[in-house]
Amino acid sequence: MPPSVVVPISLIVVGIVGIGLSIPMLLNRIPRNQVYGLRTKLTLSSDEIWYPANRFAAKLLIAWGIVNVLIAIPAFRMLPLSDKAQFLLCLPPLSIGAICLFGIRWVNKKYARHTTK
């Protein structure tokens, strides 16, 4: 088994874990807390913001997980992977930071009116 098989397997595992973690958020099963969900000062301020924001974040996370899995499937057909291919395959999981920033920006824009007193 070539060592480069670790990259596609990791993509699949990370994608499935991301999807699994997002399902309770999508179903409004996660109450406001300091550990799990899209946690900002704004989302933690009320349930009326928390649940819609976490549903939106869950949809982003599910899409991200699906993309990771879909990228991994053809990677198995290309084994053994070159160093450059392995590097490029590591980029989708790292994109989670950009997705988080997008989610936070969306929440702040959508619920900005709630911050005025």
Q: What does pTM read for this prediction? A: 0.84
Tokens 């924001």, located at residue: 53
Q: Band the pLDDT of 114: cuts 50, 70, 90.
A: low
State residue 24's pLDDT score.
98
Quick: pLDDT tens for 84-97. Answer: 988 888 888 888 88
C-alpha to C-alpha distance for 52 and 11, rounded to whole angstroms = 28
Q: How far apart are CA 87 and CA 12, in angstroms?
A: 16
Tell me the average pLDDT of the chain. 89
